[in-house]
Amino acid sequence: MHTTEEHTLEEQMIRFRRDLHMYPETGFLEMRTASIVAHELTKLGYSLQLGIDVMDPNACMGKPSNEETEAHYAWAIENGAHPDFVEHFKDGYTGIVATLDTGKKGPTLAYRFDMDALDIHECAEDAHVPVQKGFRSTLDNKMHACGHDAHTSIGLTVAKVLMEQKDELCGTIKLIFQPAEEGTRGAKSMTEKGVVDDVDIFIASHIGTGVPFGHFVAANNGFLATTKLNVTYKGTAAHAGSSPEEGKNALLAAANAAINLYAIPRHSDGATRMNVGELHAGAGRNIIADTATMTIETRGETSEINTFVRSQAEAVIQGAATMYNVDYEIETVGDALSSQCSPALAEKMYHIASDTGEMEHCEKEDNASAGSEDATYFMERVKERGGQATYVIFGTELAAGHHNEKFDIDERSLLPAVNVLVESAITLSNQ
């Protein structure tokens, strides 16, 4: 049974989650979201680092164009971005690190929350809860269909409770609000800037992912390393009837690349994936195509395997260009690692979660392959520097799968997640 205070807290966090749901912002455009988060964290008493102070611009991947960024800035201003903070994020560097230094000796703990939405058009049917309850996305083709609205709300609520219970904490607590997890584009820039270089214990969390309501997973290990590539071929147009020999055929380069990308060898150390999701080439039936673009995704059961696939992919892409005398460009627009959770930390999280009594069922680990996540960048960095890291899952009932237009969570999962995370901070900072 929850206390009245908790009821109020739950209502607040649900209200906040629904507000974010109505104003979804995709990667590197989380200006409204971040400005509100920054405002709230400041009110709570955290010291903040914002934008390029916590992000390496050179390590941002798949960042929208300046035009799109500027246009979104205008939208954010008009749609409730907090005026005191939105300027910090206007160039699309929307990360935040909030620090609580207890003044007491102890470890540095970090929690990661991601904030971005997806380019999905939210379901408008009456049966869809956000429609019923009036918090459906206000934007066409933008939707929080992965639960990052919930993550941000959990993060802010954790921030609030931890500040209230500051006396029970030791060491330092860092709350990381990350942009652009979708497409695995944002974590690398915060990692490269060093925001977890001083972290002893790192905990990322996700809601849902197929884990049932009330269940908790202390170590989610199955993330595939991945790389997202955009490839462009540039050739020379020519009239296909009158001077075919003058063309340099970008369409044929892309077609060859596509087929041979799938033909990259399997790897004896583990699973690989390859996809050319989109191929667009040419401008007219009777013109030799002078441009072609492809969106590509590689995956590997380990970072090493993914690096192998990527390296082979680069050779294939280059070779196809050579075949047809066309130029090519490969842009990395996303990247994530594989990562194994630290067993000792996972063991502790299992017991902490079990002991809270908030979860119906706790699992120590889940090793099944489960998509990709760029929190792995933080995890690997922390482990490289001698710390421990884990990735926990808070189960919930989903209306439909992640990235589906009917995706929705059970909001009763939010408060227990806050309580487990808060308890972990208290327990782990005192060890």
Among 82, 121, 234, 267, binds a copy of itself (CB under 8 A): 267
- Asked if 266 interacts with a copy of itself (CB under 8 A), we say yes
Which CB atom, from 151 or from 185, has the smaller least distance to a copy of itself? 185
- Asked if 101 interacts with a copy of itself (CB under 8 A), we say no
Q: Cα 151–370–391 angle (5° rounding)? A: 45
Provide, rounded to whole angstroms, the least separation between the CB of residue 127 and a copy of itself. Answer: 23
Separation CA 125–CA 222 (nearest Å): 34
Pairing state of beta strands 172-178 and 96-101?
antiparallel
Separation CA 33–CA 115 (nearest Å): 7
Q: Which stretch binds a copy of itself (CB under 8 A): 38-46, 141-149, 158-166, 238-246?
A: 238-246
List alpha helices for 165-271, DSSP H: 187-193, 250-262
Neighbour tally for 266: CB within 10 Å: 9
Among 122, 297, 335, 423, binds a copy of itself (CB under 8 A): 297
Which CB atom, from 138 or from 275, has the smaller least distance to a copy of itself? 275
Q: Which stretch binds a copy of itself (CB under 8 A): 24-32, 246-254, 375-383, 407-415?
A: 246-254
- Asked if 134 interacts with a copy of itself (CB under 8 A), we say no
- Asked if 226 interacts with a copy of itself (CB under 8 A), we say yes
User: Cα dist. 38→44, 319, 356 in Å?
Assistant: 10, 48, 29
List alpha helices for 139-194, DSSP H: 148-164, 187-193
Provide, rounded to whole angstroms, the least separation between the CB of residue 194 and a copy of itself. Answer: 29
Separation CA 137–CA 319 (nearest Å): 44
- Asked if 241 interacts with a copy of itself (CB under 8 A), we say yes
Helix or strand holding residue 307 (H, E)? helix 303-323
Q: Which stretch binds a copy of itself (CB under 8 A): 48-56, 71-79, 109-117, 320-328?
A: 320-328
- Asked if 39 interacts with a copy of itself (CB under 8 A), we say no
Which CB atom, from 40 or from 122, has the smaller least distance to a copy of itself? 122
Q: Which stretch binds a copy of itself (CB under 8 A): 352-360, 365-373, 383-391, 420-428?
A: 365-373
Residue type for position 124? A
Q: Looking at the DSSP assignment, which residues form a beta bridge with residue 234? A: 291, 327
Which CB atom, from 312 or from 388, has the smaller least distance to a copy of itself? 312
Please report where in the chains the tokens 């150390």 appear, as a residue: 269
Neighbour tally for 130: CB within 10 Å: 21
- Asked if 224 interacts with a copy of itself (CB under 8 A), we say yes
- Asked if 400 interacts with a copy of itself (CB under 8 A), we say no
Residue type for position 34? A
Among 98, 158, 161, 251, binds a copy of itself (CB under 8 A): 251
Which CB atom, from 340 or from 372, has the smaller least distance to a copy of itself? 372
Please report where in the chains the tokens 């690997």 appear, as a residue: 380
Q: CA 384: distance to chain centroid?
A: 21
Taken as a whole, the chain contains a residue count of 431
Binding residues for a copy of itself, rule: CB under 8 A, are: 183, 224, 226, 228, 240-245, 247, 249, 251-252, 254-256, 258-260, 262-269, 271-289, 292, 295-297, 299, 308, 312, 315-316, 318-325, 369, 371-372
